[in-house]
Amino acid sequence: MKISSLLTASVFALLTLGSAALAADVQVGIVLPTKDEPRWIQDQTRFEDALKTAGFSAEVLFSQGDSAREKTNVETLISKGIKVLVICPQDATAAAAAADAAKAAGVKVISYDRLIRDTAAIDYYVTFDSVQVGAAWGDYLISKAEGKGNNLYFYAGAASDNNAFLFFQGAWQELQPKIADGTFIVRNSDKAASFADKRDLTRDEQSQIIGQITTNWDSNVARSKAEANLTAVGPEAKGTVFIVGPNDGGSRAMADAFAVDKDVKTYYITGQDAEIASIQYIIDGKQSMTVLKDVRTLVNDAIAAAISFIDGKTPDKTMVYNNGAVDVPAKPTPIVTVTKENLKSAIIDSGYWSADKFTGL
Ligand code: BGC
């Protein structure tokens, strides 16, 4: 049997047998944050597809929203002899200890989608252009606003996720001039309103705002926060509303809350991840846009970077991201805004999701 067939066979074995697989077989360990969100199941599925031809053996483990379990997952993979760790942290700072342990064992560490913070143990960052995701939200909402005094509601992801800051930064840099000139009035964050004249916020200033508007990446929190915000304002803050929705799961939950408020006549809401349920919401006119972050590309980038490291080379970089300790090399992947208008070409014709998953296309 050729060595490549043996390796491919071991990928299959590992993916099906999981921890029963032989210790020495695993070259690349992949750690994802949770199975409970469709986004990370997308990554698992796309990894499994791509790994069939990757030419190395790999194992995928989930941390289930628990940094302690994440660390144990990393230790398990180290004990199986991995050469490269691909890790999407549950909590950016807590994951530093897991990265440090991998580094100490001679393993190359690739931060995947989310940046691990405050450690020098990260060799590479595989990511989308997350600032552009936020900018796409801002641009979309600005394109729908007319005149002055439009009602703006901001929401953000979990403060433990570095991406939440990058998404917010992108959105803020687009929207802030339009808050300053009165096009928008921020209705659910007095902190954001207080920085109306400042385009470039410090991390601490961003943190103060995110503290008020976070959904914690949890759709239940998102729904309750939207409901509480709507209860706290009068009808003058409703009518037509513009909502920075931070990801598809939370955006659908908030869209439902805004939709049932009798004083909300029209709402525009953003999202990201091109989840199947949100594509259906866009078709049905219940969510305005999503951002396609083509996970197939991210997975291929991660695999290419892992192969570079295994071959003793260095993956391509076009920029660096500072993680609080060091500048981490990266080559961010572009994103695509998806609305009702381009949904067919961006999602169906690109082969991202098949047409049979949707009704009313
Ligand atoms: C990812 C998003 C995801 C969110 C919640 C972010 O770090 O980039 O795609 O929706 O986490 O899991």
275 touches ligand 1 (CB under 6 Å): no
Contact between 330 and 127 under an 8 Å Cβ cutoff? The reply is yes
Beta carbon of 37 within 6 Å of any ligand 1 atom: yes
Kindly give, in sequence order, each residue whose CB lies less than 8 Å from that of residue 87, ignoring residues fewer than 6 positions away.
Answer: 29, 30, 31, 70, 74, 95, 98, 99, 102, 109, 110, 111, 112, 116
Which one-letter DSSP state was computed for residue 349?
A: I
What is the structure's pLDDT at 103?
A: 98
> pLDDT per residue over 56-80, tens digit each?
999 999 999 999 999 999 999 999 9
Q: Is residue 12 predicted with pLDDT exceeding 70?
A: no
The domains of the chain, with CATH numbers, are 9-128+294-330 (3.40.50.2300), 130-292 (3.40.50.2300)
Is the CB of 163 within 6 Å of ligand 1? yes
For range 320-326, the mean pLDDT: 98
- Is the pLDDT at 146 greater than 80? The verdict is yes
| 172 CB neighbour count, 10 Å cutoff | 25
**Which pTM was predicted?**
0.93
157 lines ligand 1 (CB under 6 A): yes
Do 143 and 198 touch, CB atoms closer than 8 A?
A: no
Q: 247-283 burial string, b = 16+ CB within 10 Å, else e?
A: bbbbbbbbbbbbeebeebeebbbbbbbbbbebbbbbb
Ligand 1 centroid to Cα of residue 204, in Å, is 21
pLDDT band for 312, please (50, 70, 90 cuts): very high
Q: Once rounded to an integer, what is the mean pLDDT over residues 129-137?
A: 98
* Res. 25 pLDDT band, cuts 50 70 90: confident
pLDDT in tens, 258-268: 999 999 999 99
Give pLDDT, residue 5: 37
Pocket test for ligand 1, best of 155, 162, 247 (most atoms within 8 A of CB): 247
CA of 111 to the centre of ligand 1 (A): 14
Neighbours of 123 (CB within 10 A): 21
**217 touches ligand 1 (CB under 6 Å):** yes
If you take atom 10 of ligand 1, which residue's CA is the nearest one? 247
Worst-scoring range by mean pLDDT, 47-51, 251-255, 258-262, 331-335? 47-51
What confidence category does residue 2 fall into, taking pLDDT thresholds of 50, 70 and 90?
Answer: very low
Summarised one tens digit per residue, pLDDT across range 289-306 is: 999 999 999 999 999 999
φ/ψ of 181, rounded to 5, equals -90, 5
